[in-house]
Amino acid sequence: MSRLAQLFEATRAEQRAALVGYLPAGYPTVDASKELLAATIDAGADLVEVGVPYSDPVMDGPTIQAAADQALRNGFRLKHLFEVVESVSARGGRAVVMTYWNPVHRYGADAFARDLASAGGLGMITPDLTPDEAGDWLAASDAHGLDRIFLVAPSSSEERIALTTEATTGFVYATAVMGVTGARESVGASAADLVSRTRAHTDLPIGVGLGVRSGDQAAEVAGFADAVIVGSALVSKAGESAAEVAALTAELAEGVRRPVVPAA
């Protein structure tokens, strides 16, 4: 059983959703990003997504764009990613990497998978790589025992949800709304609908991301999803302090433990 599967087995046994926190490696610096990730783990994140700062983040809103820019300006290099992942593993945390495809393509999919696995990473989320173009990644993830987390969106057809869940392992990433990353007032009904459409195709756990920023929203999403994924809201706090990151993580961790079951 993959380590992600073990994680979801445990959270399901506790009748709660998992909390997944996103922070970019190297933001604001490589060392500070290790501390911030440690703070999210200590405050209750079940899994962290370590983001790879990238020059052309087309799926990201202003918060994560600015963080990526700063990380790159402060000297982030791809070799630092593995170092950051290793720091999560060393602390007893679980990490997956979230990255646009080109840095992986350039590094070599197999070499990237090898180095991620040896750093203790569990898998990878690929926002601009769908299974259609993922031949190299399917082979590399199989070869190195990594989970490959693909995304489904409210605009995905049934055919595309079938194709995507077929190729996915670990968990499915459901993007709650049509749009880029960023904290939102409400996550929207489209998320619950997408999760229920996706469940018709797979038994994999389903995580919902895009827009969650508070404990109450986390509780709402926990009512219909297996994982609540929080990115921009944590990145905003990361711009303030590790204590702020820990406080928000604790609030979110409390939220995923009191799922609000949607009215039938």
Which residues form the catalytic set? 49, 60
Q: Which is nearer to other proteins, 106 or 258 (CB)?
A: 106
SS3 for 15-54, per residue?
CCCEEEEEEECCCCCHHHHHHHHHHHHHCCCCEEEEECCC
Rounded to 10°, the helix 30-42/78-90 angle is 30
Q: Does 78 help bind other proteins (rule: CB under 8 A)?
A: yes
- Work out how close the CB of 104 gets to other proteins at its nearest, in angstroms, rounded to a whole number: 7
Q: How far is CA 251 from CA 93, 113, 116, 240, 248, in A?
A: 19, 33, 30, 17, 5
- Report yes or no: 241 and 35 within 8 Å, Cβ to Cβ: no
Piece in contact with other proteins (CB under 8 A), picked from 41-49, 129-137, 230-238, 246-254: 129-137
Piece in contact with other proteins (CB under 8 A), picked from 48-56, 87-95, 213-221, 226-234: 48-56
Sign of CA dihedral 178, 249, 118, 77: positive
Q: Does 180 help bind other proteins (rule: CB under 8 A)?
A: yes
* Cα–Cα dist 164/14, whole Å: 28
Outline where 133-181 has alpha helix (H): 135-144, 158-167
Q: Which is nearer to other proteins, 130 or 214 (CB)?
A: 130
Q: Which is nearer to other proteins, 19 or 149 (CB)?
A: 149
Q: Which is nearer to other proteins, 112 or 248 (CB)?
A: 112
Residue of 175, 217, 232, 249 that binds other proteins (CB under 8 A): 175
Q: Which is nearer to other proteins, 120 or 154 (CB)?
A: 154
* Cα–Cα dist 106/262, whole Å: 44
Tokens at residue 16, please?
A: 């709660």
The interface with other proteins within residues 86-115 (CB under 8 A) comprises 100-107
Beta bridge partners of 48: 21, 95
Question: By CB under 8 A, how many residues form the interface with other proteins?
Answer: 40
Q: Does 235 help bind other proteins (rule: CB under 8 A)?
A: no
Q: Does 157 help bind other proteins (rule: CB under 8 A)?
A: yes
Positions that interact with other proteins (CB under 8 A):
54-59, 61, 65, 69, 72, 77-78, 100-107, 127-130, 132-133, 150-157, 160, 164, 175, 178-180
